[in-house]
Amino acid sequence: MDLQDVYDSAIEVARIAGKMAYEAFHRDKVVETKESSCDLVTETDKQVENYIISTLKGKYPTHKFIGEESVASGDKCHLTDDPTWIIDPIDGTTNFVHRYPFVGVSIAHYINKKAAVGVVYNLVLDQMFAAKKGGGATMNGKPISVSLCKDLKSSVIIVEFGSTRDPEQLRKKVETMYNLAVNHAHGLRSVGSAALDMCNVACGSSEAYVEYGVHCWDIAAGAVIVEEAGGVVFSPQGGPFNIMKRGVLAASSSELAMQITPHVKHIDLQSD
Ligand code: IPD
Ligand code: CA
């Protein structure tokens, strides 16, 4: 398999998909809900996913596909050893609906359940984040790397409420935020796109990002980009990272990640 070809295709398709979505960004949208009243989807999410999957299927007919909107409409979400594209057509749909400019197209390619390529395109700010296993990470073609800061007390940490409105989960998320703030993190931020949260860690504009409740399509591409930028990715409790397990802790270093984990309230969720 020619990984360079997969990488080039992912970038090209992400850019065109981003342009399609950007055309709708300033317009009023038809909004539907999925798992909760705050889990949004628009007709653009579905159109963009159809474009991405049909284009990549045409080029790679034997590959498997996992896409957020295809899974929402009944497809299986099952990662095998086969070459698999994992797609979030619009990550940050709430941002997209409200015109908050952190909206990403996320496309990852996995082989033997391991990340090979990750591309995340911020379609409003025109920032293309990309990484190929062993090849480093870039933003608009220029190398990026994580922050050198390894101390919680000098870190900006991204935390998200996500789309759940389950009171117990929200209480635990608030407790995590409180714990990080009371332990003197420089700042807490919520960007509203898991894929772009990971890119923020990769390019050094935040030191870490932690969230329970994400799905594999939110974080599959970002994980490659963080690692190739010199960062680390764990479960929120500091164990091995698994994209199917609904949680992520991305950080600029293991030292920082291990200072964060004791403050994160565990949330038990069913895997993808
Ligand atoms: C969501 C975003 C959000 C994160 C949620 C995701 P969507 O994805 O990435 O930042 O907090 O967990 O579900 O619904 O915008 O594709
Ligand atoms: Ca998403």
Overall residue count recorded for the chain in this entry: 272
**Residue closest to 115 by CA, chosen among 103, 98, 130:** 130
Catalytic amino acids?
68, 88, 90-91, 93, 218
Nearest ligand 1 atom to alpha carbon 192: 10
Q: Nearest 5 degrees, angle CA 119-CA 122-CA 124?
A: 155
Q: Which of the ligands is closest to the CA of residue 198? A: 1
Q: Which of the ligands is closest to the CA of residue 162? A: 1
Q: Exposed, middle or buried: residue 58 (CB in 10 Å: 0-12, 13-18, 19+)?
A: exposed
C-alpha 68/C-alpha 63 separation (Å) is 17
User: Over the stretch 61-104, which tens digit does the pLDDT of each residue have?
Assistant: 999 999 999 999 999 999 999 999 999 999 999 999 999 999 99
**pLDDT tier at 35, thresholds 50, 70, 90:** confident
- Listed in order, the ranges of the chain carrying CATH 3.40.190.80 are 152-263
Global pTM?
0.97
Residue nearest to atom 16 of ligand 1 (CA): 91
Mean local confidence (pLDDT), 6-23:
98
CB distance 248 to ligand 1 below 6 Å: no
Q: How many CB atoms lie within 10 A of CB 7?
A: 20
**pLDDT tier at 19, thresholds 50, 70, 90:** very high
The sign of the dihedral angle between the CA atoms of 125, 152, 176, 262 is positive
Name the class of domain 3-143: alpha beta
Reported as type and span, the H/E element at residue 181 is: helix 167-182
CB distance 69 to ligand 1 below 6 Å: no
C-alpha 32/C-alpha 246 separation (Å) is 23
- Listed in order, the ranges of the chain carrying CATH 3.30.540.10 are 3-143
Residue nearest to atom 15 of ligand 1 (CA): 92
Residues at Cβ < 5 Å from ligand 2 ion: 88, 91, 218
C-alpha 122/C-alpha 57 separation (Å) is 23
Name the amino acid, one letter, at 74. G
Fold of 152-263: D-Maltodextrin-Binding Protein; domain 2 (3.40.190)
